[in-house]
Amino acid sequence: MQAVVIEAPTVVRMSDLPEPRPAIAEVVVDVSLTGVCGTDLHMLDGDFATARFPIVPGHEVTGTVVATGAEVTSPQPGDRVVVDPGVPCLTCLLCRRGRPNLCEHRNAVGITLNGGAADRVVVPARNCHVLPDSVTFSAAVLAEPLACVLHAFEMVPRTAGRRVLIYGAGTIGLLAVQVARHLGAYTVDAVDLDTQRLSVAEKLGADEVFAPDSLSRQDDWDLVVDASGAPAAIADGLARLQRGGTFLQLGVAPGDAVVPLSPYQVFARELSIIGSMTTRHTFPGALRMLENDMIDAESIVEKPVPLSDYAKAVDMVRERDSLKVVVSPGV
C-alpha cells in the first residue's frame, strides 16, 4: 500500500509499505480522509518531542473498517469510523487517576504509531468510534480537533455568561468559537492576522473580530483562549484578562517558547492559567455535536488533496490560505 513516511525531520517520501494486519484486538481501517494540522508541521520541523521516526503521520483519521482481529466484537467490517489517536497504557498512575491523555507511556496514532496518511492503517479497536449515519467523512475528520476543544472547555469551571476572547481563527479557533457559543458564553470574540479567517469566525458565531493591532487594552475578557500556539499571542492574551479571569492554553506552541509572566499579577488578580492536552473521553460528545449539526463542518473542511500530493497539503497548512486541510487516498 502507499503511505507518506517522515523518515526524519524535513525528510518525507511516498513509500510502498506492506499491507497492515490486525493483532487480536486491532482493526484495519481503509482511510477515507486524514487531516493535516499544525502538529504534523511541528513533527516535520523536528519540533515535537514525543514524535518517533520513521513514522507515517496522520492523527485525524476517518474511514471504513475492512479487517478485524480475532477478539474484536466492535467495530465490524463495513463500519464507518473515526479514530481516537491516543493510546494510553491504562496502568500508570495518571491513567488510573482517569487522566489517560497524560499517560506516562502514551502512544499516539500518527505520532508514535503509524497513522492515517496511507491507504490503510491498523489501530486498536477500542480507539474506533462508529459514525452516526448522518455524519459524513468530511465532517468526521473534524472529530479529533473538536474532541480536543471539548476537553479544553471541560477544564474551565464555567463558560456560560463569560466574555470569551479566542486567539487564532484556524480550525481549532473556529471550533472553539462554536463550542463557546453553544456553552452559553455571553460574548465570543476572535483575533487573527488573516481577515478571511476572521470573516469565517463571524459567520460561525463570533460577535466581534480583531486584527492583533486593533485590540484596545481597555477591552478585558474573563476567559481568554489561545488556539494559535504563537508566543506573542499568548503573551498578549494573558494581558487581556479581567481580575479573576481564566487563560486557557489550547494551541501547541514551540517546545522552547517562553512568554513573560508576572507572578505578582497572577496572585493579585487571582488569575487562573489552564493547560489542555489533546482529548479525554470527549469523542462521543464531538460526534453528538456533529450528528446534531451543531458544528458547521462545511465552512472549515477543504476539498481533499490526493495523498500522493502530501507536500502540497503541508504547504497549504504553512501558507495559512486554507482551513482544515485533508488528504485522501481515493482522490
Domains of the chain are 2-144+279-328 (3.90.180.10), 156-275 (3.40.50.720)
For β-strands 272-275 and 241-249, DSSP reports them as: parallel
Taken in order 329, 174, 270, 99, the sign of the CA dihedral is negative
The distance of Cα 167 from the centroid of its chain, to the nearest Å, equals: 15
Here the cell at position 96 is: 488510573
What is the chain's alpha carbon radius of gyration, rounded to the nearest angstrom?
20
Cell numbers standing for residue 98: 482517569
Phi, psi at 43, each rounded to 5°:
-65, -45
Which of 202, 238, 189, 194 lies closest to 217 in space, CA to CA? 238
Q: Which residue has the cell 465552512?
A: 299
Check: pTM over 0.75? Answer yes or no: yes
- Distance, CA of 86 to CA of 140 (rounded, Å): 17
Write down how long the chain is: 331
Amino acid (1-letter code) at residue 327: V
Burial label for 286, CB within 10 Å (0-12, 13-18, 19+), is: buried
Q: What sign has the CA pseudo-torsion 39, 40, 43, 45?
A: negative
Whether the bond into 132 is cis, omega within 30 of 0:
no
φ and ψ at residue 188, rounded to 5 degrees: -130, 120
pLDDT of residue 254: 85
Which residues, in sequence order, are CB contacts of 32 under 8 Å at separation 6+?
62, 63, 64, 80, 137, 328, 330
Cα-to-chain-centroid distance, residue 174: 11
Dist. CA 22–CA 135, nearest whole Å:
26
C-beta separation of 44 from 9 below 8 A: yes
DSSP lists the bridge partners of residue 6 as: 12, 55
Whole-number pLDDT of residue 225:
98
Residue 310 is predicted with a pLDDT of 97
End-to-end CA separation in angstroms for the chain? 15
CB-based contact 149:102 (threshold 8 Å): no
Q: Tell me how far apart the alpha carbons of residues 119 and 105 are, in angstroms, rounded to a whole number.
A: 28
Low-confidence ranges of the chain (pLDDT < 50): none
Classify strands 325-328 and 26-36 as parallel, antiparallel or unpaired.
antiparallel
pLDDT (0 to 100) of residue 216: 81
